[in-house]
A and B are shown apart, each in its own frame.
Chain A
Amino acid sequence: MLAFENAPPFAAPLRFFLTAPLFAALAGLLVAFEGPDIFASRWTPGALAATHLITIGFMLQVMLGALIQILPVVAGASLKRPVAVARVVHVGLTVGALLLAAGFFFGAPALLGIAALTLGLSMLFFLAVTVSALIAVPTTSPTIRGIKVALFGLSGVVGLGVVLALALAYGWPLPLMALADLHAGWGLGGWAGVLLAAMAYVVVPMFQLTPGYPARASWWFPLFMLLMLLLWSIGVLGDWSLLVRLGQLGAALAGMAFAGLTLRLQGQRRRARPDATYRYWQLGLILSIFGLFFLLTVAIRPALADIDGWTLMFGVLLIAGGFIPFITGMLYKIVPFLSWTHLQTCGQAKVPAPAMNKILAEPAMHRQLLAYAAALALLLAAIVIPAWLARPAGLAFAVANGWLWWNLAGAIGRYRHHQADIEAKLAAKLTAP
């Protein structure tokens, strides 16, 4: 059901997928370089730089690449000139993320300003292209609704991010902490969370052979999350803390409900053997429930946010414990699957494509997963005992993500090898008398 004749060329998403792990590895190296100081608070220059290397450099990178690839398949909407769009967005995102991280790390207002401009314009371009492709598409499924709401969420997180970067750079008198929380809420909830759910509705049943997501909950989740973020935003604008807390509470509960439902569906899967994607998703679902629990507690008792490590624990659990595992698990399905479908097309039904596990073998993915889980455990422990564990945790995180890059790059190398082989066999068949 994933005929790819109307899908973009492999080069369009691939550049995003191969760049992303390098950003996560760089974030790990930064933690290792900075050491215990980075865990002092989430507002340290190093913590801000590392966070954005991961959220923009890794998460946003893969999500946009995947969206360019998957829009025709899940929404029937094709981008015009997808490779050109991918090239522009990829360069803007990569340069912008590096500049932003450098701006935070060195406290350089000029870099923050240029980064805000680069990222803002790149995302404006991406939004213009995707919205024009989706505008005529009727909302016939919860996935399409989710994608539309997520794009609104993307505009929210980017808009707030640009304002915050400029406010930091030029000393604008704004309530930076409340706006930064809201920025994170739009990014993790309104954009990443809703997009993740919209994709999960399709890929969890398809790849893990689970039952489908119940229709009513699927329709409501994106709208409910949007409503909670609007309440939170109005709360910040009007300085009504009760509204802010209500929005946070609702967003946390919705996220936990989605994760709980997905765990339940995975428990009913018909695929007997768990693969790396399944294990990565299990890890991500469980840890994101713990992460959202921290948000829930802060929504109920805001004073908890003042406890050392409380908000860091939320961030590490949700981002490094939840989103990175979801995304890595998806990459481990998408890259071999796209390789296989492109090889199928290349063979023109005359030369068969190799099996997907010949492109990326399960043991390689499983070993990297173990390395990532170990890095994650160290990272969480480093919040409690930074003096001993900050540097080992950073190094382990860099190694695990470097390993992810190695696995993906190896898969692409084998894909190219098979492609050349298939083309040679095809040419031999066509020229044979």
Chain B
Amino acid sequence: MTHPKTPHVVDARYMEPPGPFVATMEMLDTLKEGEKMLLLLFREPHPLYKVLRQNGHNYETELLPDGTFEILISR
């Protein structure tokens, strides 16, 4: 799946936990320096935010009208 913001997308909206966390960490490992990935979820992933901050990643979150949180994560 691709997206206008980045070709690297994890659509975790219908995944059961801990699927979204695992899929995000796996995709982050495949990104090159400067690349970004997008995580789609129906909630804000605060525990993931904490791990991202600890590992030095930046992220921006946007809530779409249908209830999707788009989380754009920089490598």
Contacts of B48 in A (CB 8 A): 1, 3
A82 CB-CB contact with B under 8 Å: no
Q: How far, in angstroms, from A214 to B45 measured CA to CA in the complex?
A: 18
Chain A residues numbered 196-218 whose CB sits less than 8 Å from any CB in chain B: 201-202, 205-207, 209, 211-216, 218
Chain A residues numbered 2-34 whose CB sits less than 8 Å from any CB in chain B: 2-7
Chain A residues numbered 242-284 whose CB sits less than 8 Å from any CB in chain B: 270
Q: How far, in angstroms, from A179 to B39 measured CA to CA in the complex?
A: 48
Q: How far, in angstroms, from A143 to B19 measured CA to CA in the complex?
A: 22
- Report the nearest A residue to B20, measured CB to CB: A1
Interface string of B41-53 (1 = CB under 8 A from A): 1111111111100
Q: How far, in angstroms, from A211 to B43 measured CA to CA in the complex?
A: 11
Considering only CB atoms and an 8 Å cut-off, how many residues of chain B contact the other chain? 28
Contacts of A213 in B (CB 8 A): 42, 67
Contacts of A270 in B (CB 8 A): 14
Q: How far, in angstroms, from A75 to B17 measured CA to CA in the complex?
A: 17
Contacts of B16 in A (CB 8 A): 206-207, 209
Q: How far, in angstroms, from A82 to B6 measured CA to CA in the complex?
A: 40
Q: How far, in angstroms, from A298 to B59 measured CA to CA in the complex?
A: 49
Q: Are A211 and B46 in contact (CB under 8 A)?
A: no
Contacts of B44 in A (CB 8 A): 74, 76, 140-141, 143
Chain A residues numbered 27-73 whose CB sits less than 8 Å from any CB in chain B: 72-73
B58 CB-CB contact with A under 8 Å: no
Q: How far, in angstroms, from A202 to B20 measured CA to CA in the complex?
A: 14
Chain B residues numbered 13-58 whose CB sits less than 8 Å from any CB in chain A: 13-14, 16-21, 41-51
Q: Are A216 and B45 in contact (CB under 8 A)?
A: no
Q: Are A1 and B12 in contact (CB under 8 A)?
A: yes
B74 CB-CB contact with A under 8 Å: no
Interface residues on A, range: 20 to 34
Contacts of B63 in A (CB 8 A): 140-141, 215
Question: Shortest Cβ distance from B60 into chain A, in angstroms?
Answer: 11
Q: Are B42 and A211 in contact (CB under 8 A)?
A: yes
Residue among B42, B45, B46, B47 with max Cβ neighbours from chain A (10 Å)? B46
Q: How far, in angstroms, from A22 to B59 measured CA to CA in the complex?
A: 45
Contacts A3-B51, A76-B49 given; does A141 touch B66 at CB 8 Å: no
Contacts A1-B17, A2-B18, A6-B50 given; does A206 touch B67 at CB 8 Å: no
Q: Are A201 and B43 in contact (CB under 8 A)?
A: yes
Chain A residues engaging chain B, CB cutoff 8 angstroms: 1-7, 72-76, 140-141, 143, 201-202, 205-207, 209, 211-216, 218, 270, 337
Chain B residues engaging chain A, CB cutoff 8 angstroms: 12-14, 16-21, 41-51, 61, 63-69
30 contacts between A and B (CB under 8 A): A1-B17, A1-B18, A2-B17, A2-B21, A2-B47, A3-B18, A3-B48, A3-B51, A6-B50, A7-B47, A74-B43, A76-B50, A141-B43, A141-B44, A141-B63, A141-B69, A143-B43, A143-B44, A201-B43, A202-B42, A205-B13, A206-B43, A209-B14, A211-B13, A211-B42, A211-B66, A212-B66, A212-B67, A214-B67, A270-B14
